[in-house]
Chains A and B, each alone.
Chain A
Amino acid sequence: MANLRINGAARTVAADDDIPLLWVLREQLQMTGTKYGCGIAQCGACTVHIDGRAARACVTPAAVLQGREVVTIEGVSGDVARAVQETWRRLDVAQCGYCQSGQIMSAIALLSEIRRPSDADIDAAMTGNVCRCATYVRIRAAIHEAATTLGA
């Protein structure tokens, strides 16, 4: 068993067998917004925040997260999160939507660190998040627009 802090709450979970955080979230805590896409940190569908930084839950053993702060799409909050999610809706970024939790978590982490990201900053921060629907034109536009909203 391991004691984790997830979305601000203490949770006790079964963390044996090197089980990744992804499956603890999805199957033990019923937080299914964080997605399984590849299992090898190649697609970013499982992106969460660990101590405020974007991380891939599919390759992060739950057992190593004692004392760390985990935030998922279900618990993300604050000005940056609100700006990102609202812009995502305004631009209708999502198509199938399966990758978008991860895209949004990466975008929030980026904008929390860099308030006015350049295209190169976006490429660097978002390159680990795959969208097979290829919504990238709108992801880029939404990040710039959210930055504008926040920068006012």
Chain B
Amino acid sequence: MFTRRRFLETTALAGAALVVGVRFDSRPAAAVEGLAPDAFVRIAPDNTVTIISKHIELGQGSYSGVATILAEELDADWSQIRVESAPSDAARYGNRLLGGAQVTGGSTAMADSWSQMRRAGATARAMLVEAAAREWSIPASEITVDRGVVSHAPSGRRATFGELASKAAAIAPPAQVTLKDPKDFKLVGKQPPRVDSRAKTDGSAQYTMDFAVPGMLTALIARPPRFGATVKSFDATAARRVKGVTHVVPVPAGVAVVAESFWAARKGREALRVAWDESRAEKRGTDELYAAYRVLAGRPATRARREGDADGALRGAARVLEAVYEFPYLAHAPMEPLDAVIRVGADGCDLWAGSQAPTIDQQVVAQIVGVPANTVRVHTLLGGGSFGRRATPNGDVAGEAASIAKAIGGDRAVKLVWTREDDIQGGRYRPLYVHRLRGGLDAAGNIVGWEHRIVGQSIASGTPFESAMVKDGVDRTSVEGAANLPYAIANIAVDLHTTRIGVPVLWWRSVGSTHTAYSTETFLDELAHAVGRDPVDLRRALLAKHPRHLAALNLAADRAGWGQTLPSGRARGVAVHESFNSVVAQVVEVSRRPDGLPKVERVVCAVDCGTAINPDVVRAQMEGGIGYGLAAALWNEVTLVRGRVQQRNFDTYRPLRIGEMPAVEVHIVPSGAAPTGVGEPGVPPIAPAVANAFFQLTGQRVRRLPFARLAAAGTRTS
């Protein structure tokens, strides 16, 4: 650990620039004795303020958000702000909400950055002020800072940050700083434009797919036709004859074809012949899995939550409703297919990637290449979408790239590319689940018992996250959104059957809530309908002790005109759900498409995400979450027949297109609380809200997703 003295030497060496970092702001000031050079901001003599983001930019606006927080307390001018990605170093850039690993995920970027970036900005500001006070021989208390200019009104002196940076670098960071009163915010809660919009509109934004170094090779991997199969033998004769192919090598993931260009690698992979050992491969299809899961859904399982006596309440109920739900495997399908560039050299190893977990990648690469982790330099580039896919517990893509580099030897850089087909067929899906819900009603129509059983694979099991995420046999990602059902029901039981299937699974934007919001919010709608209660009124009654839920629900219902008459052929539905500590309510209006599926015309969305750092980014994330969730609800499923994935590309894994995007209005619940999640919470309510509206319109309950199965297999009502 660096001492403060060492810190100052380091910043001086870093060259006439002020570098500020604050370690673990949750510690009392006295404990910040050994201040480490956790650099979050760099102020250069040219007056640029570079903010170092430990959270990757995947589209969710984290660069802009992190910069807004820090620039706010620094009183910087937005035009002088630049953002760059932090290097891999968990000690300085760990996510304090995810156990200290350097991970962007769980919609935590703003919550994790809030107090830390405020303190970093305020610390840098105090050092600039002190430098000016010494320079001008005046008390620091008489100095003001506004939009990047430090001023002393009585003497008329002014200086830019750039002019003060070198002097400020020689000043010891203050032990304590005073943060702004939120009423004085000039950037937080306002509309500074995104920092990445220019580069993303002129083609200059650089993603891993675009990154290149001289002499770089491109690799594709021939992957097994079934999960769990391995290479038995391969014939590379024809592949090696393809012009530009340089290497054909076996790697743990399959057989890598390495070439001078993507096109040559693709041609080479087409020419490659591989015989697979499928003795240990998963050979079941999704129809068999659904059938097995439905049987399990009828059997007692591991407890995830118990309130009162649900079993007794259901036995004593005047009426019991029961519903079984089916949720498919889902691919993430970010627009930029998976990729990584690696170069192994004598001076260490470089990895360029758009990874959500750079320090995991660092460890994985180090282990495969056989070098110390601190010689692996991870350079985080923009991610072309992810939705969870670029956060794997085993650093899968980086590991594959490392295994190829090791297999071919030498020090030429290699870019590993997953084609879209590799992406759709390559697994790490949102798990397939079956839910069974039973609800008991008394003679007066009150809900007296709620029993919820979930069957599916664990995401965390068998990964380094297992010890943190699986407790008493329950993976919390399997039951989140169900085990914390907010409704005031006296008797609740939530159970989980964890299955072991050879299909790799992963978190998918909003994780457990992708399925639990659907089953809980549509089943509650069924109960409301059964007792003749208005779905919004019933929710209000059951959420009396949840003010954030109530506020979001009421805001969405009011702005949507809940209860007002709609034109014929249209109907409304509602859902409200908490995820990642934010609450989102959505009221949708649907009509019917010619093919019988719902057409979502309008969505009114209300979100409580604590302090909205960039309200326009919050709106964008709600819009995007709605579109992402809607595509999955209507059309998306990965199906397997005898272990083989049936979908290949966007022709068979159908994305939402512009004409299918509803009008969206987003309303933000005013809040002075610390920020909570935004990237994921817009997703969960859309599917159940659409299903509830579809029932209003057609009388039909949809319990198997995607909705497209309605047309494919007829309807199924229980």
Q: List A residues at the B interface (Cβ < 8 Å).
A: 16-17, 19-20, 23, 26-27, 30-40, 42-43, 45, 72-74, 85, 88-90, 92-101, 104, 122-123, 126-127, 129-140
Judge whether A140 and B201 touch: CB under 8 Å: no
Judge whether A134 and B263 touch: CB under 8 Å: no
Listed A/B pairs (15) with beta-carbon separation below 8 Å: A17-B267, A27-B218, A32-B210, A36-B262, A37-B336, A39-B649, A43-B420, A92-B617, A101-B203, A123-B658, A126-B658, A130-B656, A134-B626, A134-B631, A135-B624
Bound-state Cα–Cα, A30 to B209, Å: 12
Q: Which of A85, A100, A133, A138: most chain B Cβ within 10 A?
A: A133
B116 to chain A, nearest CB (A): 24
Judge whether A132 and B623 touch: CB under 8 Å: no
Judge whether A127 and B657 touch: CB under 8 Å: yes
Top 8 nearest A-B pairs (CB, nearest first) are A33-B203, A134-B627, A96-B59, A97-B200, A98-B384, A95-B59, A73-B203, A32-B210
Judge whether A96 and B657 touch: CB under 8 Å: no
Say yes or no: A96-B383 contact (C-beta < 8 A), given A130-B655, A131-B335, A136-B658. yes
B174 sits at the interface (CB 8 A): no
Interface flags for B100-135 (1: CB within 8 Å of A; 0: not) read: 000000000000000000000000000000000000
Q: Which B residues are in CB contact (< 8 Å) with A94? A: 59, 194, 196-197, 200-201
Residue ID in chain A nearest B244 by CB atoms: A17
Q: Which B residues are in CB contact (< 8 Å) with A100? A: 200-201
Judge whether B201 and A85 touch: CB under 8 Å: yes
Judge whether A132 and B334 touch: CB under 8 Å: yes
Q: Number of B interface residues at 8 Å Cβ cutoff, please give it.
A: 65
Judge whether A92 and B620 touch: CB under 8 Å: yes
Judge whether B384 and A134 touch: CB under 8 Å: no
Judge whether A36 and B658 touch: CB under 8 Å: no
B60 sits at the interface (CB 8 A): yes
Bound-state Cα–Cα, A105 to B67, Å: 30
Q: Which B residues are in CB contact (< 8 Å) with A43? A: 335, 420, 650, 655
Judge whether A92 and B627 touch: CB under 8 Å: no
Interface flags for B604-634 (1: CB within 8 Å of A; 0: not) read: 0000000000001100110111111011000
B207 sits at the interface (CB 8 A): yes
Judge whether B335 and A37 touch: CB under 8 Å: yes
B22 to chain A, nearest CB (A): 29
Q: Which B residues are in CB contact (< 8 Å) with A31? A: 203
Known: A43-B650, A89-B193, A99-B335. 14 other contacts (CB 8 A): A17-B264, A23-B262, A30-B212, A36-B209, A43-B655, A73-B202, A96-B386, A97-B199, A97-B382, A127-B658, A127-B659, A132-B335, A132-B387, A136-B661
Q: Which B residues are in CB contact (< 8 Å) with A93? A: 197, 201
Judge whether A132 and B651 touch: CB under 8 Å: no
Q: Which A residues are in CB contact (< 8 Å) with B200? A: 94, 97, 100
B385 sits at the interface (CB 8 A): yes
Of A20, A35, A92, A137, the residue contacting B663 (CB under 8 A) is A137
Q: Which B residues are in CB contact (< 8 Å) with A95? A: 59-61, 385, 620-621, 624
Q: Which B residues are in CB contact (< 8 Å) with A37? A: 335-337, 420, 650
B243 sits at the interface (CB 8 A): yes
Judge whether A137 and B623 touch: CB under 8 Å: yes
Q: Which B residues are in CB contact (< 8 Å) with A99? A: 335
B500 sits at the interface (CB 8 A): no
Q: Which A residues are in CB contact (< 8 Å) with B363? A: none
A127 to chain B, nearest CB (A): 5
Judge whether B626 and A97 touch: CB under 8 Å: no
Of B204, B336, B627, the residue contacting A33 (CB under 8 A) is B204
Q: Which A residues are in CB contact (< 8 Å) with B620? A: 92, 95, 135, 138
Residue ID in chain B nearest A136 by CB atoms: B661
